[in-house]
């Protein structure tokens, strides 16, 4: 499949410490000099677009912690041929940034929110404020993005009791609520193995509460999600089944972390790094050729190719 989607991690820094994501023993953050600067990110992104990428999603870490994020959004938005710029954020800083981000050219926003109970929020994130995240979600709904999605990582006995309430949000608000199967990535999240809750179980909870769900055709922004809508609902419900359903065949994405390492697949090692080329002043043609080579090796990897079984979502970008 043609690669048309780049997930770009801007920073390994995060203002939350989520149990399913942040490593248990985080031994400090990367040095500033290791992170790509705006100009380097924009040059790399422009080369990805020339190599065929049409959509870029900013992630992290927490991407809104990247200094002068609005300036970076404007730089990326100006890349000729880029059709869509999207963001995945925990929403804590969105209340004040939603409108400026929209004005800077951000098209779509995904917000990670896994509970509406303050004590559970503390349990999952370790810090931060549920009120801020909620205000951020509401601010993005008002800001005029083409789509707002809510990402809910389902964890048994932690937040599964809230599944019907989150499904309800898709009825009351023009929101795509996406139930994501938790999958163990690093040592910390492997301790949460007991928390696995399949899409089939989640769907049953929703149907027990509200009746049968009707599947609707997936749209161009739905990625690997299977999408459903309740009659009269303002929004949609999606399921992302990274564990129980195998969607590698339909994957058109690559990832670049905040230091310029490129990962053809979530389960592959980084095969190339662009940082040295960027810092040595490589021209766009050279970068495009390098990126095309990376695209060619993508088909070698899939979910079974995780060599160490260890993925740090917090630095490579979930
Ligand atoms: N800080 C931002 C946020 O919280 O959305 C962006 C980075 S976070 C790594 C991006 C996404 O990674 C989250 O929405 C979450 O769904 C996903 N993620 C991280 N670890 C995960 C895990 N173990 N299982 C499922 N999803 C995970």
Q: pLDDT tens, 111-127?
A: 999 999 999 999 999 99
Would strands 236-240 and 176-181 be described as parallel, antiparallel, or unpaired? Answer: parallel
Determine the Cα–Cα distance for residues 296 and 268; give it in Å rounded to an integer: 13
User: ∠235-239-241 over CA atoms, to 5°?
Assistant: 165
Which protein residue has the closest C-alpha to ligand 1 atom 20?
21
Burial of 32 (0-12, 13-18, 19+ CB in 10 A): exposed
112 CB within 6 A, ligand 1: yes
Ligand 1 pocket mutation, candidates 13, 18, 112, criterion most atoms within 8 A of CB? 112
Task: Give the CATH number for residue 226.
Answer: 3.20.20.70
Q: Is 114 in the pocket of ligand 1 (CB under 6 A)?
A: no
Angle made by CA atoms 195, 199, 205, in degrees to the nearest 5: 90
Ligand 1 contact via 162 beta carbon (within 6 Å): no
Structural domain range at position 246: 5-316
* pLDDT reported for residue 317: 66
Q: What is the pLDDT of residue 55?
A: 98
The SS3 of residue 106 is coil
Number of structural domains (the chain) is: 1
pTM, two decimal places: 0.95
User: For 33-47, 73-87, 103-117, 218-232, which range has the lowest pLDDT when averaged over its residues?
Assistant: 218-232
CA–CA separation, 121 and 131 (whole Å): 10
Question: Hey, what are 315's tokens?
Answer: 């630095």
153 close to ligand 1 (CB < 6 Angstrom):
yes
Is residue 309 over pLDDT 60? Answer: no
- Name beta bridge partners: 9: 59
């Amino acid at each position: 499949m043609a690669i048309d989607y780049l997930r770009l991690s801007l920073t390994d820094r995060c203002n939350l410490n989520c149990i399913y994501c942040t490593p248990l023993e985080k031994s400090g953050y990367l040095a500033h000099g290791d992170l790509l600067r705006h100009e380097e990110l924009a040059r790399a992104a422009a080369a990805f677009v020339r190599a065929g990428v049409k959509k870029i999603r900013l992630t992290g870490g927490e991407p809104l912690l990247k200094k002068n994020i609005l300036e970076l959004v404007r730089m990326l938005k100006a890349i000729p041929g880029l059709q869509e710029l999207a963001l995945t954020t925990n929403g804590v800083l969105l209340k004040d940034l939603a409108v400026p981000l929209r004005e800077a050219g951000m098209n779509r926003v995904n917000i990670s929110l896994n509970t509406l109970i303050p004590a559970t929020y503390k349990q999952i994130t370790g810090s931060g404020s549920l009120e801020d995240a909620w205000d951020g979600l509401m601010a993005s709904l008002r800001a005029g993005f083409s789509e707002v999605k809510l990402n809910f990582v389902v964890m048994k006995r932690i937040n599964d009791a809230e599944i019907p309430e989150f499904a309800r949000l898709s009825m009351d608000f023009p929101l795509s609520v996406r139930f994501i199967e938790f999958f163990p990535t690093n040592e910390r999240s492997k301790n949460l193995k007991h928390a696995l809750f399949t899409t089939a179980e989640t769907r049953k909870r929703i149907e027990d509460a509200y009746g049968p769900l009707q599947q609707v055709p997936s749209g161009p922004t739905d990625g690997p999600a299977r999408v459903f809508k309740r009659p009269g609902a303002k929004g949609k419900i999606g399921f992302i089944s990274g564990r129980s359903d195998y969607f590698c065949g339909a994957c058109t994405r690559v990832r670049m972390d905040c230091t310029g390492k490129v990962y053809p697949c979530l389960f592959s090692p980084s095969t190339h790094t662009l940082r040295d080329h960027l810092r040595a002043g490589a021209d766009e043609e050279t970068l495009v050729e390098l990126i095309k080579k990376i695209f060619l090796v993508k088909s070698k990897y899939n979910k079974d190719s995780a060599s160490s079984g260890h993925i740090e979502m917090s630095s490579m970008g979930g």
